[in-house]
Structure 1
Amino acid sequence: MSSSVPRTVKAIDTASLIRLDAEAIEYGFNRNHGLGWLAEHADPQALHYLRPFMVHRAGRRPEFSPHWRCMLLLTMRDAQEVFSLLDVWPASFDQLPETLDRATKQAVAHRLDYGKLPTQAQWADLNT
């Protein structure tokens, strides 16, 4: 595996996001949302966006290390956009199709970096 993350953003539907989150739980990755949380709170019709930003190494699970820590632009059932993190196995990320044009990727990256989005935890404190 490459020692650097891909410089891209990928759109992901809710069902695929839930599968990636379940994989993160199964592999023992630190950044996941907990079993069933996304199914309960994420907008089932929305597209969400993943952007890898760092290589993460898990010393206690060397068979799943390194993996990628991704920023996640997540749309909730109430249409609120929130910032979250998700650890993703590189092969699983690579299987996601590239569907976004360059301008859309840049716009999403800018929202993740500078959009002052509430975090998933902040949203959960106010809404659950």
Structure 2
Amino acid sequence: MGRRREAELDRDVAAFLAARAFTEIRHVAGGLTVRDTSPEEVLDRIRFLADLSHNLPGVARPRPRTPSRLGKPLGSFDQAMAERPLSWVWSTAGPEARAWMLRHIEQMTHHWTPPPPLPRSRTGPAPVTLRRQTGILLGRWPVRTPAGRRPLPAQARVLKALDTEGVCALNDEAHRLRLGLGGSGSWLRAHLAPDGVHYLLPDPADYYWPGNPDSSGGGIRWWQCTMLLRMRDGEQVASMVAVLPGTFAALPSTVPRRRQLRLAHVVRSVERDTSQWGRDHESACGPGLCGYVREAAGDAPTAT
């Protein structure tokens, strides 16, 4: 079966399963009047069906996917979901939920097969496509302005190199000013390569574009920046931090322009982030290995 047909069948199956779940919920709710069925059993069954089916309508009739950053490569997770829209529902379903799904799917079709496991976030940058290589050769800056928004100023179309203390200082400032994006400086100091070179790129998602309303009722006055960080084990991962324009402008610019273009594309294509790296490292994390001592709740890496 072709990939397009598999995606269409997933959507048809999702619509069918949603209808079956809603029908069963209505039937089970009627069991409240049956003496040998306790209210707790009825509620447990309704909760099970609701948890299983609440994402199915979105699979059956998906909204058009619009990237949060124009021109950014499609991640491996998004590619897998485009090919098999039921991948997330299936991967997060337990044995009982999967058995329920298969039992009903067999009534509808014998051609459906479960989707493969969702891929782990790709380590390292995405392969260089011909389009991306052409953009580099033509000197096209990869961060593009969303429709109806004002372009970032020229001083934001720069990629800058930072040392580890510089990265930590930016995150400390974002935390101190409550800008909303940025990890813990103490966590980063313990886990970044001490002599590592890291990169910072103003790269706002459309919902964080400067001038958009912020939580205080004003407008966003900072730049959402993507960071490419070198961790203590040598792996390069992505992270995000909010940086004030004045703070960014004050950082030295030492990377040649052609190399900036190449690195900007690399920075935007890395999928694995500090939160994923931190989860993999957590079991071994502690004062004896990396010198890190958790200071307070929330003192941990943030997702991108």
Residue number among 49, 60, 69 corresponding to 2:224 in the alignment: 69
Whole-Å separation in 2 of the counterparts to 1:46 and 1:35: 15
Pairing 1:51-62 to 2, within 5 Å after superposition = 51-54=201-204, 55-56=209-210, 58-60=214-216, 62=218
Instruction: State the Cα deviation string for residues 14-68 of structure 1 (Å, max 9, x = none).
Output: 1111111110000102111124111111111011100001234533285x94100
Amino acid at match of 2:273: T
Is 1:85 the counterpart of 2:240 in the alignment? yes
Amino acid at match of 1:122: Q
Whole-Å separation in 2 of the counterparts to 1:71 and 1:35: 16
Residue 99 of structure 1: SS of its match in structure 2? coil
Structure 2 unpaired stretches of 5+: 1-149, 283-304
More helix by share: 2
Pairing 1:1-128 to 2, within 5 Å after superposition = 4-5=152-153, 6-54=156-204, 55-56=209-210, 58-60=214-216, 62=218, 65-114=220-269, 116-128=270-282
| TM-score normalised by length of structure 1 | 0.87
Whole-Å separation in 1 of the counterparts to 2:217 and 2:230: 30
Q: CA deviation at 1:3?
A: 6.3
Q: CA deviation at 1:87?
A: 0.6
The answer on whether the counterparts of 1:28 and 1:61 sit within 8 Å (CA) in structure 2 is no
Higher RCO (C-alpha under 8 Å, 6+ residues apart):
1
Q: CA deviation at 1:89?
A: 1.1
The answer on whether the counterparts of 2:226 and 2:238 sit within 8 Å (CA) in structure 1 is yes
Whole-Å separation in 2 of the counterparts to 1:61 and 1:15: 33
Residue identity (%): 29
More strand by share: 1
Over the aligned positions, Cα root-mean-square deviation in angstroms equals 2.0
Amino acid at match of 2:272: P
Amino acid at match of 1:17: V
Whole-Å separation in 2 of the counterparts to 1:29 and 1:95: 18
Structure 1 unpaired stretches of 5+: none
The answer on whether the counterparts of 2:226 and 2:268 sit within 8 Å (CA) in structure 1 is no
Q: Which structure has the larger Rg over C-alpha atoms?
A: 2
Aligned residues: 125
